[in-house]
Amino acid sequence: MATKKESRERDRIFLRLYLKTSPDDVTDDELAYFQAHPDQIDEVTAPVNIHKLFLWAGTLLGVAFVGLSKLMKFHPLFELSEGYREFFIDIVFESGVALIGAAVTAYLLGILLEKQQENAARWRAEIRRRLAERQASGSG
């Protein structure tokens, strides 16, 4: 199990790779990390933990929208007719709830995807190990 420091280092490396536009931009620091952790090279194509930042932002924005809708309901900011005011309140509230729901759904799907990627990494490692054994024994 990775320590918190190792996990932060991994997330930092993957975030930097995620934000790069070209594989030519890989630094010596990143190469040194993958030299020490060659089993994580296959994970470069799918940085799963990075989406948590965006999920938190979406959730907080959704909560802010729900709060704004309540503020609009009990403290009218604009002089609008009752029908228009209710319409805008409903739009803001529903947008907030949709953002929260989308963030929760994406988080749960992220957990499932991360689990699937961990399983896939174990499968690849086992296949590589068995192929190496077969090649070493000469029966390949």
Percentage of the chain lying above the pLDDT 70 cut: 91
Q: Residue 124: pLDDT above 90?
A: no
- The pLDDT of residue 121 is 76
The pLDDT of residue 2 is 66
pLDDT at 90: 95
Provide the token pair at 87.
């319409």
pLDDT digits (tens, 9 = 90+) for 54-70: 888 899 999 999 999 99
Q: What is the largest CA-CA distance in the chain?
A: 84
* Cα torsion 11, 117, 122, 120: sign: negative
